């Protein structure tokens, strides 16, 4: 199967100029641990996770904005990528989700390790 068939199309995202507290609030809803970060034009520019927010709290720095704590070098996938390639990206980089982007670098979904678990749940 391809990423398109397993990805979650309702990715919760955030913009880079929002406050870390806003990211924490979104994460607290419990729907996801990964927020793709968008610029003003809706392009993917980073990712922020519960890990990053926790780190910001522990270091108690002056960082106030998502932009200051996000990971900028985002490892991503696209809808037509075979899921085994996507799974390798997760494994090799010790991460648990990949934003799914179209050709314009706009987020169209998110693929998490949990979504890959569907492969073993009898759906395929």
For ligand SAM, give the closer residue by CB, 30 or 122.
30
DSSP of 36-87, one letter per residue? Answer: EEE-TTSBEEEEEEHHHHHHHHHHT-S--BHHHHSBSS---B-TTSBHHHHH
For ligand SAM, give the closer residue by CB, 95 or 116.
95
Closest distance to ligand SAM from the beta carbon of 98 (Å): 5
CB atoms within 10 A of CB 118: 14
For ligand SAM, give the closer residue by CB, 64 or 123.
64
- In the complex, the residues that contact ligand SAM under the rule CB under 6 A are 34, 47, 49, 51-52, 71, 74-75, 94-95, 97-98
CA-CA distance, 76 to 107, in Å (whole number)?
A: 10
Closest distance to ligand SAM from the beta carbon of 23 (Å): 11
Closest distance to ligand SAM from the beta carbon of 78 (Å): 13
**What's the angle, vertex CA 6, arms to CA 51 and CA 48, rounded to 5?**
20
């Amino acid at each position: 199967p391809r990423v398109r068939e397993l990805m979650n199309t309702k990715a919760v995202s955030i913009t880079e100029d929002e406050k870390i507290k806003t990211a924490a609030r979104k994460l607290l809803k419990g729907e996801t641990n990964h927020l793709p970060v968008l610029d003003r034009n809706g392009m993917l520019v980073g990712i922020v996770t519960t890990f990053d927010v926790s780190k910001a709290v522990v270091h108690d720095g002056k960082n106030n904005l998502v932009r200051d704590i996000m990971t900028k070098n985002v490892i991503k996938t696209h809808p037509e990528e075979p899921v085994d390639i996507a799974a390798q990206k997760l494994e090799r980089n010790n991460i648990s989700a990949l934003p799914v982007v179209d050709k314009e670098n706009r987020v169209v979904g998110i693929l998490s390790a949990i979504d890959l678990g569907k492969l073993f749940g009898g759906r395929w």
